[in-house]
């Protein structure tokens, strides 16, 4: 079968239905294949227009993908804005995962192209501000999965951080929380100690 996506003729393979699973200890039922917005919102792997990015997201959704993974730092908020624009009426049909922890508000332009880290801020105030800002960009009242982006060991043992996440959960701003570790940067012990 041939399909035309973004004006490009492509050979597609019929793979059948998308499988779903429920994250352990949650009621989040997600497609086993998710759509990560890093590549379409940062410009690191080519530039996508807003229309092209949304067309890709719609195609994934039409094929059964329900998990959309963003981060506030991807495109300095662009990845979250794209989810809001792509799915203004499908909020209850998708699972939104996003990440917080990098201070892109003050340092986002310093990153440039490529994988270069900017300063992080995992203080309770910063995490609360970042969550509220993400909710505004996503144009939603809740984030299904809020992840701490490339957390460091000192934050793993910071009780105030975890208390803040529990408060965000109890207010309904987030449903669940976890961590997201970048394998290229190599956090191992942080992940082991969070499990």
d(CA 166, CA 161): 9
In the set 23, 74, 102, 189, the catalytic residue is 74
Q: Is residue 174 part of a domain?
A: yes
Residue 16 has pLDDT above 60, yes or no: yes
pTM, two decimals, is: 0.84
Residue 191 has pLDDT above 80, yes or no: no
Q: Is residue 140 part of a domain?
A: yes
Task: Give which of 42, 43, 49, 39 is closest to 7, Cα–Cα.
Answer: 49
Q: Is residue 7 part of a domain?
A: no
Q: Is residue 10 part of a domain?
A: no
Residue 152 has pLDDT above 90, yes or no: no
Q: Is residue 11 part of a domain?
A: no
Tally the domains of the chain: 1
Q: Is residue 135 part of a domain?
A: yes
Active site residue 176: no
| Helix and strand numbers, DSSP H then E, in the chain | 8, 9
Judge contact between 81 and 129, C-beta under 8 A: no
Q: Residue 79: give the domain boundaries.
A: 16-194
**CA distances, 194 to each of 22, 97, 134, 160, 181 (Å):** 20, 18, 23, 15, 11
Residue 82 belongs to domain with CATH number = 3.20.20.100
């Amino acid at each position: 079968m041939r399909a035309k996506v973004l004006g490009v003729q492509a050979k597609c393979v019929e793979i059948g239905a998308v499988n779903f699973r429920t994250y352990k200890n949650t009621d989040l039922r997600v497609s086993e294949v998710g759509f990560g917005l890093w590549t379409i919102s940062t410009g690191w792997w080519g530039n996508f227009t807003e229309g092209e990015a949304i067309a890709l997201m719609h195609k994934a959704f039409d094929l059964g993908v329900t998990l959309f993974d963003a981060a506030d730092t991807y495109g300095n908020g662009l990845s979250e804005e794209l989810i809001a624009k792509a799915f203004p009426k499908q909020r209850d049909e998708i699972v939104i995962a996003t990440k917080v922890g990098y201070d892109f508000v003050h340092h986002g332009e310093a990153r440039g192209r490529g994988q270069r880290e900017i300063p992080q801020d995992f203080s309770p105030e910063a995490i609360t501000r970042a969550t509220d800002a993400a909710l505004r960009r996503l144009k939603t009242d809740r984030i299904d999965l809020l992840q701490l982006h490339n957390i460091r060991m000192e934050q793993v043992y910071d009780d105030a951080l975890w208390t803040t996440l529990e408060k965000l959960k109890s207010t309904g701003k987030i449903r669940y929380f976890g961590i997201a570790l970048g394998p290229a940067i190599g956090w191992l012990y942080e992940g082991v100690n969070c499990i």
